[in-house]
Amino acid sequence: MRYAPPNITSRLLTNNLLTIILLCIIATAGCTKDKPVYPVPTIKFVTLPGLTSTDTTLMLNDTVRIGISAKTGSDQALTHFHMTVIKDSAITYIDSALYTNQLENFRTIIKGIAKKETRIFYVRDRDGRKSQELTITFSLDSSSMYGDISYILSIRLGAQKNTSTGSFYSLSAKNIYTKADAFTNQGLINLLYYFDTIDADKNTIASPGANVDASVFPGTTGITNWAIRNTTRFKIQQNITTNQFELCRNDSLILSNTFEFESGFRKAKNLVSGQIYSFVTDSGLKGLFKVLEVSGETEGDIAIAIKIKK
């Protein structure tokens, strides 16, 4: 009887094993379903009466509204809404997180002093698929003129434990309110003042829509119990001098130093005398305030001057 040499037997077993493995791989590959290929999200301007969807020339301070509609093209939700704002050479990027299959975004735009103001929009879904970009440009009419402002020479706001001076202010009513009175006039309040001992932000101007800790204004009339919480955003303006602020007689200085609402900060912190901030409210009011005086802590107060674009 003949026997195969051990090395030949080993090679045959190895070849047979490789053949079996290869057949299994081929069989498995044949049963694997192709991963579906989804289209990118769609995005478009909303074309309804009262909405602008094409490039337009505007007068300074003209107001237009645009609408944007976007929809996922896959089984994944939209998670990212991006806007780029280009005002002449100044560029601002704004990213908004979301989680929805369909988005409708409407916004009011007030024409500023830039000769050309371009906005670019797109969305992404959860898997990173990016829509096409939407672009719209607003040009400034060369015959435009600057507008008027309101000038509040001085208001004094008390901190949260100041029992003689209210902490809340309405830019439209130009009135100071105590916590109890502010509670009954929630829709009017744009600014509030307190001394921050939690985050060490010290003398702070914010608004009801900011993340002010519930312990700052506690009780049934405290901000956390308000049904309407307006939001104002702020940016410090270190290049504006006190003299420029005082000499400002129209809205040129305000418009030159304004910003996109979403890019501002919810609080003006660690305030000291002489600082100048620009602000934008969620209702579209724009202006500047200058810190005149700061005194005390939770029982102290602050004095500011305000200039608002009419």
Dump pLDDT digits (tens) for 207-240: 999 999 999 999 999 999 999 999 999 999 999 9
Q: What is the DSSP string of 56-70?
A: EEE-TT-EEEEEEEE
Cα–Cα distance measured from residue 263 to residue 95, given in angstroms and rounded to the nearest whole number? 9
Does CATH number 3.40.50.300 belong to domain 42-140? no
Strand partners, 118: 86, 137
Per-residue model confidence as pLDDT tens digits over 29-85: 555 566 688 999 999 999 999 999 999 999 999 999 999 999 999 999 999 999 999
Locate the domains of the chain by residue range.
42-140, 149-309
174 closest CA partner among 194, 160, 162, 189: 189
**Residue found under tokens 């280009």:** 86
In Å, how far are 79, 194, 233, 267, 298 from 216, measured between CA atoms? 34, 8, 19, 14, 9
Q: What is the pLDDT of residues 254-308, one digit of tens each?
A: 999 999 999 999 999 999 999 999 999 999 999 999 999 999 999 999 999 999 9
- What distance in Å separates the CA atoms of residue 307 and residue 303, rounded to the nearest whole number? 14
183 strand-pairing partners: none
Name every residue whose Cβ is closer than 8 Å to that of residue 103 and which is 6 or more positions away in sequence.
68, 69, 70, 71, 78, 81, 123
Residue 286 CA to residue 111 CA, distance in Å, equals: 12
